[in-house]
Structure 1
Amino acid sequence: MTADAPLDAEEERFWRALQRVMTALPKALDDDLLKATGLTLSEYSVLMFLSEAEARELRMIDLAELTRLSASRISRVVDALKTRGWVVKRRHEVDARGSVARLTPEGLERLEGAYPALLASARRRVMDHVEAASLPSLAVQFERVAGQLG
């Protein structure tokens, strides 16, 4: 089948549902998390990626790439977290133009405290609506799609 071949009815149905999920889900998760914890989904993501990084720190450019936020947006998010004492920021030792963000113990505690709310939202918004038997196949397929996106 050629890349520009029209979608059949089931492909179109799936594609439209996926578009609705891609549009609505981040907002719903963000609203749930903000209401339950006071954290935005972007703030939670920054804390999460820092918690998983070696020495719990990342260059700002790498953090922006992981979170899919622009350089200016990641700076605003990290600065907001820094104000709350959950992240510290310093100049990179080798590249003085770059900065490094590091998760503080208080930031890790905040992340751990917010996790149950995000988990509850993910279950309520997505997992409770997906058949358990289909999860392995869906995971493989979505990993394939995500992998080719970069």
Structure 2
Amino acid sequence: MKKIAGIAFVPLLLLLACNNNGTETLTDKENYKKATETLLEKEKKTPIAFLKVNSHDKHNLFGQTVIKGSIDNNAKVCSYKDVQLQLSFFSKTGTLLEKSNETIYDVIAPGKSVDFKTKYFAPKGTDSVGIKVLAAKINQ
């Protein structure tokens, strides 16, 4: 009799386990959707936190400072466009000589990067250029 009760109990357990997984999958999907929406809102509110600029500069024969670089989008969901950069020109001693703004009119998908190149007649005595992201628009 105990054997029959044990045999009947195993299928009942399996049946309950299968039904329970179906509802957990639904809540897992809902939780994932909520987490994605929360992440999207965070990425929309603070694009500067997800964009990183790498650059280097050199001088050409015409006396211009040529700045080449890339903007990396570290966001998981959100694409950005029209990234505004601030260029700061420094002397050998680290004194700020001048600031200028530049906009990169391109779309940067999540996890991707965009290359850019710009030329400036930098102020006399410029030794280095610092670049930071000021703002970016959300690509809908």
TM-score normalised to structure 1 length: 0.29
What TM-score does the superposition give when structure 2 sets the normalisation length? 0.30
- Which structure has the highest strand share of the two? 2
Hey, which of these two has a bigger chunk of helix by percent? Answer: 1
Larger radius of gyration: 2
